[in-house]
Amino acid sequence: MTTCYGLGEVKGERDQSGPLFVGNLHPHVTEQVLLSVFLPFGPVCFVKVCRDRATNLSCGFGFVTFAHRHDAENALDALIFSELLGKPMRIMWAQRDSTLRKSGIGNIIIKGLARDIDDLALYDTFSCFGEVLSSRVVCDSNGQPKGYGFVHYATPEAAVLAIEKILNNAYY
């Protein structure tokens, strides 16, 4: 039996989703703040803001697990890059296998981005080529885009397709 916020105790009826990774969090975001943002999408079984063990300060990321996968999918679609305390949240499925992230497979760098391209525009542009695990426009210390970013696809085939389409200008 599991207790989920917004649902109470659940006996076997849930199809618990994998956790959502929520990054780029403002230092003042707490578990209660994250819960209030995600709870409207459905019952939440777990919420955690990761903190430095020595200082107890936020590490700028956390995790949210829903009781039902479709609720997590709806939250991801609705909240990706939405602002929380003035910072756009990076939301994606948490990758338990860190070797996928660290391998660089499916990860591409995009240079020459216009300075008005933000994380959401980058995601929207490149998600048509395959499932995007994460995307990010690199910014300077003042929060201004530096003209390049990264897109990490779930498969190397999607990354190759994106590169081919962009290089051949078939996308435009």
- Report d(CA 52, CA 101) in Å as an integer: 22
- Report d(CA 66, CA 51) in Å as an integer: 21
Please give the model's pTM, rounded to 2 decimal places.
Answer: 0.73
3-state secondary structure of 149: strand
Strands (E), the chain: 2-4, 8-10, 20-23, 44-51, 58-66, 83-84, 87-88, 90-93, 107-111, 132-139, 145-153
Q: Model confidence over 73-106: pLDDT tens digits?
A: 999 999 999 999 999 999 998 876 666 666 778 8
Tokens found for residue 66: 């829903």
Q: What is the pLDDT of residue 105?
A: 83
Q: Does 1-94 match 97-167 in CATH topology? A: yes
Q: What is the pLDDT of residue 12?
A: 53
CATH class of 97-167: alpha beta
Model confidence at 18, pLDDT cuts 50, 70, 90, reads: confident
- Report d(CA 30, CA 39) in Å as an integer: 14
Q: What is the pLDDT of residue 5?
A: 73
User: What is the bridge-based pairing of β-strands 83-84 and 132-139?
Assistant: unpaired
Q: What is the pLDDT of residue 4?
A: 76
With CA atoms as reference, report the closest residue to 119 among 152, 166, 159.
152
- Arithmetic mean of pLDDT over the chain: 87
3-state secondary structure of 105: coil
Q: How far is CA 136 from the centre of its chain?
A: 10
Q: What is the pLDDT of residue 11?
A: 53
3-state secondary structure of 1: coil
Q: Are 5 and 35 in contact, with CB atoms under 8 Å apart? A: yes
Q: Which burial class, exposed, middle or buried, applies to 26 when counting CB atoms under 10 A from its CB (0-12, 13-18, 19+)?
A: middle
Q: Model confidence over 28-68: pLDDT tens digits?
A: 999 999 999 999 999 999 999 999 999 999 999 999 999 99
Q: Which amino acid is at 62?
A: G
Instruction: Decide if domain 1-94 falls under CATH 3.40.190.10.
Output: no
Domain ranges of the chain: 1-94, 97-167
Tokens found for residue 115: 């300075």
